[in-house]
Amino acid sequence: MKKFNFNKNSRKIALMLILSVAIIHIVQVVQAAVTAEPGSQEDPLVSQSYVDLKFQEMAKKLEEAEKRLEEIEKYGKFEALELTKGQVLIAGASAELILRGGKALAIGGEGGGLSDITSGTGADVNTDDEVPLNHLLLISRDDGRGLKVTSEKAWVLVKGPYTIE
């Protein structure tokens, strides 16, 4: 069996090599801990403030989703309105109108009149034209389109954004 004979210089070199490897390893671990994003694979432990921040972000997204759902519920159904003579209903973009009773005149916008879906001809109901009963009218733009009631009372179904003047 052969004996290894370490002299003083060999021992110093071996010690320096071991210390160098240890220092390099420590530096890599510290660097990974400092640069790792909290909650990532490299740093699975997170602080309370990080968890609170994530909960706040989720709560905000949930609140926005609830608002959108309310709009969908509000604008997804027809609302029955009873209007009186002289009242003007101005509909927003993508609104739908159906005159169920009474009489009204159409109010067109810059881009044209009210699109009469029921007629099947593709014709618009233009400004000052009488609005036909039980016809589905589509408002394509938010440019002041709507209807003006000319009878004592009128009943209108509205789906989508609108204002009454």
Q: Which domains does the chain have, with CATH numbers?
A: 8-56 (no CATH), 78-164 (2.60.120.1030)
**What's the mean pLDDT in 17-42?**
76
Tell me the torsion sign for CA atoms 114, 117, 91, 128: positive
Whether the predicted pLDDT of 6 surpasses 60:
no
Taking only the tens place, the pLDDT of each residue in 61-87 is 988 888 888 877 777 789 999 999 999
pTM of structure: 0.58
What is the predicted pLDDT for the residue at 128? 93
Coil, helix or strand at residue 33: helix
Query: Which of residues 46 and 54 earns the better pLDDT score?
Result: 54
Indicate whether 151 pLDDT > 90: yes
Q: How many CB atoms lie within 10 A of CB 163?
A: 10
Q: What is the pLDDT of residues 84-93, one digit of tens each?
A: 999 999 999 9
Mean pLDDT of 30-48: 70
Residues 98-126: tens digit of each pLDDT = 999 999 999 999 888 999 999 888 789 99
Of 131, 140, 128, 79, the closest CA to residue 102 belongs to 131
- Section 34-51 average pLDDT: 72
Phi, psi of 96 (to 5 degrees): -125, 140
> What letter does residue 130 receive in the DSSP assignment?
B
38 burial via Cβ count (<10 Å: 0-12, 13-18, 19+)? middle
What 3-state DSSP class applies to 19? helix
pLDDT at 103: 97
